[in-house]
Amino acid sequence: MNKPTSAIMQLLITICAIAIVTAAHFYWRAIRINTPERVLPVYCVTWCLFVLCGYLIVLRAGRHSYQRHHRLGSVTLFLASTVWGTFFAIPSLYSPSNWAWSWSNGVSVSFNVRLLSGLFVAIGLLGIVASFAWLGISRSMGQESNILRTAGAYRYTRNPQMVGVLSIVIGYTILRPTWYAAGWIILFIILAHLMIAAEEEHLNRIFGKDYESYCTRTPRYVGWLGPGKGSG
C-alpha cells in the first residue's frame, strides 16, 4: 500500500472511530439508561474507542502531520479537537445531566469538597492561561515551533497546559467520586500522553541537543513524573 493510499485509509478509520464514539454518546443520552449493570458495558466500550481514537488520531496522524508539514495539519487538528471535545462530554454518559459543566448538579456536596474542587479547577485554569500567554495560541495548537520555550511555567513542567487541564478534570471529579470518574481521569492521562509523545518527537527533531538538555532538567509532567525523557 503506497503512502497516499495509506494516509487515506488512516483518515477514513479515524473518521469512523470518531463517528462511533459520538454515536455511542448521543445514543446513551437519548435512552437514559441509568442502571449500573447497563452503564458499565457502554462505558467500557466508549472508553476503549477513545483509546483507539487517541492512538490513530492524536499519535499516528499527529506524528505523520508533524513529519510531513512540521506542524499539525488542518484535518489532523480538527480530528484531534473533536476527540478532546467529545472527551469532555463523557461524564454525561454515567452521571446526572451537566454535572461536568455546572457546580449545581442536584447532589448534596459539602462545602469542604466544593472548596477542594474549586481549588483544583482554579489552579488548572491559572496554569492554562499562563502557559497560553507565554507560548502563544499558534504554538499551543501545534502550528508553530520555531522557538523552544523553557522559561515561565515551562521551567517546572514541559507540558503546563496538560497539567492544568488534568487539574481541572480532577477538580470536577471530586464533586462526584466514582470508579467511572476515575476512569475519566485515566483516559485523559492516556490521551494527553499520546499527544505529548508526538509533540516531543517533533521538538526533538527540530531542536536536537537543546531539547534533550531541556528534557534532562525539566519533568514531562510534574516532579518525578516523566523526568529526563524526550520522547514517548
Tell me the pLDDT band of 23, cut-offs 50, 70 and 90: low
Cell triple for 14? 479515524
pLDDT higher for 2 or 136?
A: 136
CATH topology of domain 3-217: Four Helix Bundle (Hemerythrin (Met), subunit A) (1.20.120)
Buried b (16+ CB within 10 A) or exposed e, 120-134: bbebbeebbeebbee
Question: Residue ranges per domain, the chain?
Answer: 3-217
Mean pLDDT estimate for the chain: 76
**Terminal alpha carbon distance of the chain:** 27
How many Å apart are CA 215 and CA 227, to the nearest integer? 7
Contact 155, 131 (CB under 8 A): no
Tell me the pLDDT band of 49, cut-offs 50, 70 and 90: confident
Distance of CA 157 to the CA centre of its chain: 16
pTM: 0.79
Which residues have CB under 8 Å from 52's CB, separation 6+? Answer: 17
Residue range 164-182: mean pLDDT, rounded: 86
- The whole-number pLDDT of residue 187 equals 93
Residues 184-204: tens digit of each pLDDT: 899 999 999 999 998 899 889
Residue matched to cell numbers 508526538: 198
